[in-house]
Amino acid sequence: MTNSALFFDASPVASFVVDTRHMVTHFNQACALTLGIAAQRVIGRKGIGWVFHGDDRPMMADLIVDDLMEKTVNDLYQSTFRCSLKVPHAYETEHFFPKLGQGGRWLFFTAAPLRNAQGELVGAIETLQDITERKVAEDALMKAQLEVEQIVEQRTSELGTVNQTLRDDVRRRETAERELQSRNNQLQALNSKLSEVKEHLIQSEKLASIGQLAAGIAHEINNPIGYIFSNFGTLEGYLTQLFEMLDAYQQAEATLQATPAGPALKAKREAIELDFLKEDIPVLMRESKEGIVRVRKIVQDLKDFSHVDSNPDWQLVSLNQGIDSTLNVINNEIKYKADLVKQYADLPEVQCMPSQINQVVMNLVVNAAQAMGPERGKITVRTGLAGEQVWLEVADTGSGIPPEVLPRIFDPFYTTKPIGKGTGLGLSLAYGFIQKHHGKIEVTTELGQGSTFRVTLPVKQPAAAAAPSPT
């Protein structure tokens, strides 16, 4: 055995050599141990492929000597075949052989051509390495990686589900918070309305109490005014008789000039200025009677304004008469600030709650008087008829309403007056009363020129509104 043969056989790399006739010429000890077959069974035989495949299938060394490597290797080894990066015209591949061993074995091959000194192809050498354990480890690693990926995918899916649940919970919480905020806003609005209604009720009760007090005072004043008025009539008759008697005395005074009583009577008449008294006393009586008549009219207007002694439900009343009664009651608020002009149209009787409409008129006129500047102004109260509706206007020549204030004039408790001068309920109450009467209240204003409030009311209320409310 030559030195090269000894080196080949002693090599720890499992190797075999085939010649150009596909005859196995070398099969070292490492190859025999790797494949579990004695070298004597292989050396000198063709078709080394039967050792690996169980049939005469060519190996890479066979393909190299037949120069078929590039043509058929892909059919045999598919994607695992590649050219060696270290040796030209050498090749590498790995393949599973199910017939080797008990469960099959994975082998890594390298193959290269063998040439003589003249460069002629004399055979091919093929090495092999058992990589079954590595493949098993790779498969286990791949399986573990796959399991990890599945676990990660499962955890990711579970995490996505949890995240979706959390997002759903967040949306539900946000929805609940929005609903809670909406209900809170509704409760606040309801509380505001309840407060407004409460204040309206308190104000209405105050007005009712004031009306009852005014009606009581008017009734109490009306009694003494009645007998004073009656006594004035009697007194006028007595004075007429006394003046007739004094005329008789004055006519008899000429016949008594010669007697001691004559000069005394004349001196007394001149001392008391009887002629002046006869002229002034009727004037005083007439003026006093006019004053009593005015007091009596004010008392009657106060009773009409309060309407305590009348039916509190819907009534058919004269709008013009109600306005006149209200203006008489609040005359003291107007006479020092503005001239009052009345422009009434002929109106049918209006179905309304008179005390509330009178309250509206009073609030509008008092506000108009308070809007006057330092100079005396004018307040015009008009009424008119438009189809099935009546209207009344209160126009003033006051300071007007600023644009930033105008949207809020009907809000409860909103006032531009100093503290203690206004409650901010006058126009709010007026707005509520007009709404209750199925009417509307509008305002036009110009700074420095004045404002006009126009109230429109139906002549007849809808049947449901005018029906008496149950006790």
pLDDT < 70: residue spans in the chain: 1-4, 72-81, 196-220, 222-223, 227, 229, 232, 250, 252-258, 297-312, 412-426, 464-471
Q: For residue 229, what pLDDT is reported? A: 67
Identity of the amino acid at 211: G
Question: 424: phi > 0 → left, psi -120 to 50 → alpha, else beta; which?
Answer: left
348 neighbors 300 (Cβ within 8 angstroms): no
Q: For residue 344, what pLDDT is reported? A: 92
3-state secondary structure of 417: coil
| List of residues 6+ apart from 231 with CB closer than 8 A | none
Q: For residue 391, what pLDDT is reported? A: 94
> CATH for 311-471?
3.30.565.10
In 10 A of CB 303, how many CB atoms?
21
pTM across the whole model: 0.41
Structure confidence by residue, pLDDT tens digits, 210-249: 655 566 666 667 667 776 767 767 877 777 878 777 777 7
Q: What is the DSSP annotation of 267-289? A: HHHHHHTHHHHHHHHHHHHHHHH
Query: Which DSSP category does 23 fall into?
Result: B
Structure confidence by residue, pLDDT tens digits, 419-430: 545 555 667 777
Q: For residue 215, what pLDDT is reported? A: 61
Q: For residue 113, what pLDDT is reported? A: 92
Which run of H or E residues covers position 135? helix 132-252
The domain segmentation of the chain, as residue ranges, is 3-130, 311-471
Structure confidence by residue, pLDDT tens digits, 116-147: 989 899 999 999 988 888 888 888 888 888 88
| List of residues 6+ apart from 353 with CB closer than 8 A | 312, 313, 314, 315, 433, 436, 437
Q: For residue 471, what pLDDT is reported? A: 33
Distance CA 372, CA 335 (A): 12
Distance CA 119, CA 167 (A): 76
> CATH for 3-130?
3.30.450.20
% the chain with pLDDT above 90: 12
Half-sphere exposure of 103 (CA within 13 A, CB side): 4
- What is the Cα 157 distance to its own chain's centre? 39
Helix and strand totals (H; E) in the chain: 13, 13
Structure confidence by residue, pLDDT tens digits, 321-333: 889 888 888 888 7
44 neighbors 111 (Cβ within 8 angstroms): no
Q: What angle is formed at CA 243 by the lines to CA 239 and CA 244, rounded to 5 degrees?
A: 120
Q: Which residue has the tokens 């499962």?
A: 154
Structure confidence by residue, pLDDT tens digits, 447-457: 888 889 999 99
Q: For residue 470, what pLDDT is reported? A: 43
